[in-house]
Amino acid sequence: MAAPLDPRTGTPVVAMVGGGQLSRMTHQAAIALGQSLRVLATEGGESAALVAGDVRIGAHTDLADLIAFADGATVVTFDHEHVPTEHLRALQGAGHRVAPGPDALVHAQDKLVLRRALAEAGEPQPAWAQVDTVDDVAAFAAVHGWPVVLKTPRGGYDGRGVFVVPGESAAAELVERHGSLLAEERVTMVRELAAQVARSPFGQVAVYPVVETVQRDGVCNEALVPAPGLSDELATAAQELAVRIADRLGVVGMLAVELFETADGILVNELAMRPHNSGHWSIEGAVTSQFEQHLRAVLDYPLGSTAMRAPVVVMANVLGGDAAAVDWAGPSLDERIHHFMAHWPDVKLHWYGKGQRRGRKLGHVTALGHDLAEVRARAVAAARYLADGVVDPAFAFEEEHH
């Protein structure tokens, strides 16, 4: 049976589950390609629901909502990992194309499933164990030492569901609350990296430069591209690892492999099978953005060039800061955007249209150039101004010094 197309345009309809900023930026890419992006949002005020033309309101946990949402779409894809695996199988059973499919996506949904698959494949990862009792945790710590990192197998992101546990009493409380957990050794790492690759059903892959992600409190603050000072050998090893994982798991769409760099090499932390925060730089910084590439891949189009448009690209997240406070008396959001544009005319802004609260990802900025220190200073100062209303003195205008 021919894949359904939008009768108005003669081009595909991509149905993306989730109405967050990843959907919003995928919609942006779909416009240029002439495609229709249909969005499943929980309510009309979500980031993508504010801008997309075809928004369905429903729950990603409700099978009837998902089946109605998929009707007439060329392919169903995701901006998060939280759709129950059995619902994805039911969608497939009803004849809908799902990309990535449930057999692949479960590795991004369940950290224990991922750890087992990587162990089977002989890929590098931290020491780990499934723990069901406090005795299990103590036995693991006896070999690998305290503190132990405990993770809920499902549902965690941006540092949620991850606990660094100093001893048995804290471990006992978590095991009691959550039941089965994933225990990992606490890795002594140099830094965190991300390797992104796109894969099509045909098996074509496209690999992006390896990125250094700068994390604070489990949340990505900056992405530095390419990862500064990373040897060609290690960069290639990270990219080849990402390709092997994508092939082995049968990923369709974007895959982000989050990595720990250690003194000895690289270890896999976790996976995301969707556009990812570590790839936002690619909108201005690469010939083909991760959002366009995800669309190409899930539709089995030939993949686009991942070449960088500048020697150095830095993305900085705008996380809700002082200006997100209820009693904020400084410049309003619109005023801050005016000032941002005046101070940093060559830094690109992506604002997600979300309600402001402290620590929330509200937008990101991207700067391009030749010198890492200079490019990073621009991006970080611009993001900080939007978050906190404070102009870095290095970028202040003459009159602002007084």
Nearest alpha carbon to residue 171 among 140, 216, 144: 140
What is residue 308's three-state secondary structure?
A: strand
The answer to whether 186 is a known ligand-binding residue is yes
Query: Measured between alpha carbons, how far is 152 from 70 in angstroms, rounded to an integer?
Result: 30
- What residues are paired with 260 via a beta bridge? 192, 267
The answer to whether 191 is a known ligand-binding residue is no
What is residue 163's three-state secondary structure?
A: strand
Count Cβ neighbours within 10 Å for each residue of 278-303 and write b for 16 or more, e otherwise. Answer: bbbbbbbbbebbbbbbbbbbbbbbeb
The answer to whether 240 is a known ligand-binding residue is no
The answer to whether 384 is a known ligand-binding residue is no
Neighbours of 87 (CB within 10 A): 19
The answer to whether 111 is a known ligand-binding residue is yes
The answer to whether 274 is a known ligand-binding residue is no
Neighbours of 67 (CB within 10 A): 14
Query: Measured between alpha carbons, how far is 401 from 287 in angstroms, rounded to an integer?
Result: 39
Query: Measured between alpha carbons, how far is 364 from 386 in angstroms, rounded to an integer?
Result: 10
The answer to whether 115 is a known ligand-binding residue is no
Query: Measured between alpha carbons, how far is 86 from 92 in angstroms, rounded to an integer?
Result: 10
What is residue 159's three-state secondary structure?
A: coil
The answer to whether 185 is a known ligand-binding residue is yes
281 close to 209: Cβ distance less than 8 angstroms:
no
Length of the chain: 402
The answer to whether 358 is a known ligand-binding residue is no
* Cis preceding-peptide flag for 7 (omega within 30 of 0): no
Binding-site residue numbers for ATP are: 111, 151, 184-187, 192, 269-270
Binding-site residue numbers are: 111, 151, 184-187, 192, 269-270
